[in-house]
Amino acid sequence: MDKLIFSPALAVHVGCGFLLVAIGLLPILTRKGSRLHRGSGRVFVALMSVLLAAAWVMTALHFSAYFAALSATASITLFSGTRVLRRKRPDLDPRQRANALDWAATLGLLTIGAWILLLVAQGRTGNKATVSAALVYACFTYGGWDLWRFIRPTAWPFSPNLWTYEHLVKMLSAYGAVISAFSGNFLTFPPPPWSQLWPTLLFQPMAVIWIAVLAARQRRRALSPA
């Protein structure tokens, strides 16, 4: 019975992964807010959702701490990076604050992360302990940030543009998870764990630099005469 479910889930997972490696570049490279950016972003989210659904099915059938940690981190960044588009201005509209779905998804994924970290501490993750722990800490970072934003949606460091930065960082991280899995399976020349960690080392600094550029542009616009 497992094979009847696992094999199709694996085929779907791998197929979506190959598509996402290419399609994920479109929202990054296209003009933000353009029709192509929004359309390719929706396709990315749809394919990523299918990929993650297949990943959780496979994890339930044949558990792997590393795979579960990667799925949890990718899930929380994709979910939160998408949901933040509905929470742009919580200062103006109370309906744009976190609801039960946001709380349930975030707390559920953090619980999975805590369980995986316990397995790492007990030495039950084999040769994937380093990568699994790094992924869990990333999950905790995003989840902890979101809980703070849920509790105090208009507190520091809130600004009218904060949702832009959150969306950028989280969606880049979701794409980074795709590249990490792809690299770990197909790019064998970097030694482990670097074959899985290099996308994080690339995309996180990229996100920081990108945010700094966007923030500088916003300041210039605010200071320029009308």
In this prediction, residue 226 has a pLDDT band, given cuts at 50, 70 and 90, of: low
Cβ(41)–Cβ(27) below 8 Å: yes
Cβ neighbours, 10 Å, residue 37:
16
| pTM of the full structure | 0.90
What is the per-residue pLDDT for 11? Answer: 94
pLDDT for residue 218 is more than 90: no
pLDDT for residue 191 is more than 80: no
Residue with tokens 């999975």: 112
Within 8 A by CB and 6+ apart from 171, the residues are 27, 41, 44, 77, 78, 81, 82
Q: Among the residues of the chain, which ranges form H helices?
A: 2-23, 25-29, 35-61, 65-83, 100-121, 129-151, 162-186, 194-223
Q: What phi and psi values does residue 99 have, to the nearest 5 degrees? A: -115, -170
In this prediction, residue 214 has a pLDDT band, given cuts at 50, 70 and 90, of: confident
In this prediction, residue 185 has a pLDDT band, given cuts at 50, 70 and 90, of: confident
What is the per-residue pLDDT for 194? Answer: 73
Cβ neighbours, 10 Å, residue 132:
26
pLDDT for residue 35 is more than 60: yes
Tell me if residue 189 falls in helix, strand or coil.
coil
Q: pLDDT by residue (tens digit) across 130-155?
A: 888 988 999 999 999 999 999 999 99
- Between 201 and 78, whose confidence is greater? 78
**Mean pLDDT on 98-119:** 96
DSSP states of 95-155:
GGS--HHHHHHHHHHHHHHHHHHHHHHTT-SGGGHHHHHHHHHHHHHHHHHHHHHHHSTTS
